[in-house]
Amino acid sequence: MKSGALSLFLLIFIATVTGCTGSQEASVEADAYTGEFKILALHGGGEDPEGLMGQPGMQALMSDLSEFEFFFADAPDHDSMCDQCWYADPPGGKGEPNEDRNWAEISIEYLDGIVEDHGPFYGILGYSQGCPMATVYIANSNTSFEKAFLFNGYLPTTHSGLNDTINEVAPLDVDALIFGGDNDVFMFGLEELAGVYEEPTILISSTADHHLPFSDDETYGDVLEFFRRGTNGTL
């Protein structure tokens, strides 16, 4: 773990999966604090947990939300097709949608294991590819979350099979925050993502790029309010 990158008041779990068989080795680092509300956090494709944890916006959330505990999962290795991804691109490239409904099965089973070993979780957080993976997981597992926190995300539209599994159970009955930035190249997918959730809260930053909102962002206070809503007796 990179020194100085993390809050002193955070319990961090980094689970590493090797190979395509789903065999797992988990490394755990902990300090004295554990929050009351545990969040399962999924990083973006092609990065690792430290990449998400190190974002200024994530650091700000960890600092300001001391009542929450963030568990950062590490995407399983899907062989050479995709390194540090929750699911690989279609075999024929993004121009040829993949109809395989089980394309993310390795990641679903991996997350099931995390929930079994370290849950229950109050919510699930996704960033970039972590957003479609969080949505696929909600639609295809028996795990229930009170909230979904989805930053800079989209749906797995190049995977029509995965998308079908979502649409068949939509709208998803999870209190969802959908965040996007006007300067984010993935803004095109925000409306579709919001459309599969029941009454989502949508926040658009006029300045953010492909990252979580900084602490001085115009939407940051609303993000904090969404996290805390319902956790302290408020509606």
Note every long-range contact of 96-101, with CB atoms under 8 Å and residues 24 or more positions apart, other chains counting. Answer: 97/157, 97/158, 97/159, 97/160, 98/158, 98/159, 98/160, 98/161, 98/162, 99/160, 99/161, 100/159, 100/161, 100/162, 101/161, 101/162, 101/164, 101/165
Tell me whether residue 46 is in a domain: yes
Tell me whether residue 107 is in a domain: yes
216-228 tens-digit pLDDT: 999 999 999 999 9
Tell me whether residue 120 is in a domain: yes
Helix (H) or strand (E) segment spanning residue 177: strand 175-181
Tell me whether residue 233 is in a domain: no
Tell me whether residue 116 is in a domain: yes
- Two structure tokens written together for 18: 């090797």
Domain count, the chain: 1
Q: Residue 97 — very low, low, confident or very high, per pLDDT cuts 50/70/90?
A: confident
Tell me whether residue 94 is in a domain: yes
Q: Give the count of beta carbons closer than 10 Å to the beta carbon of residue 15.
A: 22
3-state DSSP assignment of residue 79 = helix
Tell me whether residue 235 is in a domain: no
Tell me whether residue 4 is in a domain: no
Residue 93 sits in a domain whose CATH number is 3.40.50.1820
Is 6's pLDDT higher than 60?
A: no
Distance, in Å, from the CA atom of 123 to the CA atom of 227, rounded to the nearest integer, reads 9
Tokens 């539209």 belong to which residue?
157
Among the residue ranges 4-8, 50-54, 153-157, the one predicted with the least confidence is 4-8
The residue segments making up the domain with residue 203 are 12-228
pLDDT at residue 96 in the model: 78
